[in-house]
Structure 1
Amino acid sequence: MFPMRASLVSLLAAVILVGCSSGGTASKAPEVAAAPNQDGRCEASGAAFAVGKPASAELLEQARKASGAQLARVLKPDDAVTLEYRSERLNLHADEKGVIARVNCG
C-alpha cells in the first residue's frame, strides 16, 4: 500500500511541476519594434531624451524601449530602492517635482 501511495504522490508532484513550467504554447503579448540591442541589457544613453520631461507611464515605456531594457522604473527622491544591480533595468530618477533629472541602468 505504501509504495503505491508514494508512486501516486510522486506522479501528482510531477504533474503539478509540469503545469507550472512555462511552455512555448502559451500566447504572448505581441512584440514591439526591435530595440537597439537584442540581448535585453540596458543602454542608458538611448533614454537620455527623457531628462527634463515630466515622469509618466508613457515616457517610462518610451525610454525603456529606446534603451533596450527589459524593465524600467521611475525613482523619486524618497523612494526605497534595492541595492542589487540589474543590467536589464532602466532607472529614471525624478526630482521633487516629478521631472526626470537623470537616467541610468541598474
Structure 2
Amino acid sequence: MRRAALAALALLLAACGAPSVPPGPPVPAPGEDTCGASPYTGLVGRDGTALERVLIMRQVRVIRPGDAISEDLRPARINFVIGGDGSIARIYCG
C-alpha cells in the first residue's frame, strides 16, 4: 500500500513540472506577429548572447532550457527561446 501511495505521489509531482515551450515555427507567421518580432528573425540560429547586443524597446522574455515559464498570454511580448546548444531556436509572441 505504501508503494502505491509513493508511486501516486511521484506521478502527481511529475505532472506539476515546469510547462514546456509551445512547439511551432522558428518565428511568428506574418498574420500572428502581434508583438513586432519580425525585425528580429535574423537572430534565429545565432548564439543567445546576441540578444545582449540588440536594443529591443518592447516587452521581452528569454526562455532557456529548464526555465519555468508562466502561462500568461501577452500578445505584445516577444519570447526568445534559447535551445540546448545556446542558440536562439525560436521567436514567438505571447
Question: TM-score, structure 1 length as denominator?
Answer: 0.49
Separation in 2, partners of 1:46, 1:62: 11
- Which of 68, 71, 86 in structure 2 is aligned with 1:83? 71
**How far apart, CA to CA, are the structure 2 residues paired with 1:101 and 1:87?**
19
Task: Say which one has the larger Rg.
Answer: 1
Deviation beyond 3 Å, 4+ runs, structure 1? none
| Distance in 1 of aligned mates of 2:52 and 2:91 | 11
Point out where structure 1 has 5 or more consecutive residues left out of the alignment: 1-40
Q: Does 1:71 align with 2:59?
A: yes
Contact 1:74 1:91 in 2 (8 A): yes
Partner of 2:51: 59
| AA matched with 1:85 | L
1:43 deviates by 1.8
Indicate the percent of aligned positions where both proteins have the same amino acid.
Answer: 33
CA distance in 2, matches of 1:47, 1:92: 10
Count of paired positions: 61
SS at match of 2:72: coil
In the alignment, what sits opposite 1:33? none
Please state whether the residue corresponding to 2:51 is helix, strand or coil.
helix
Q: Specify every segment of 5 or more residues in structure 2 that has no aligned partner in the other structure, as ranges.
A: 1-33
Q: Greater helix share, 1 or 2?
A: 1
